[in-house]
Amino acid sequence: MRFIFGNYILDTSRRGLRQGAAAIDVEPQVFDLLTCLVSHRDHVVSKDSSAQSGPPCLHRAIPSRPL
């Protein structure tokens, strides 16, 4: 699946992020977090409540990584 926002393309099937024609290197955990946030863009998640009440994919990405 491809998510397009502004000049960025997040391609979940290829696990890639691009800005225009340029590939942007992101760590796997960061990519998973971006994918989760874009996939659940209809939810508002605060920094303090994200690990407890956010979508399940946030539980895997946030606790071990400082924001």
Across the 67 residues of the chain, what is the mean pLDDT of every consecutive 10-residue run? 95 96 93 87 68 63 55
Supply 14's token pair. Answer: 């290829």
- Helix, strand and coil content of the chain, in percent to the nearest 5, comes to 35, 20, 45
- Residue 2 phi/psi, 5-degree rounding, is -115, 130
The span from the CA of 21 to the CA of 8, in Å, is 9
The span from the CA of 29 to the CA of 67, in Å, is 12
Beta-strand ranges (E) seen in the chain are: 2-5, 8-11, 16-19, 22-24
Q: What is the pTM of this model?
A: 0.71
pLDDT of 24 reads 97
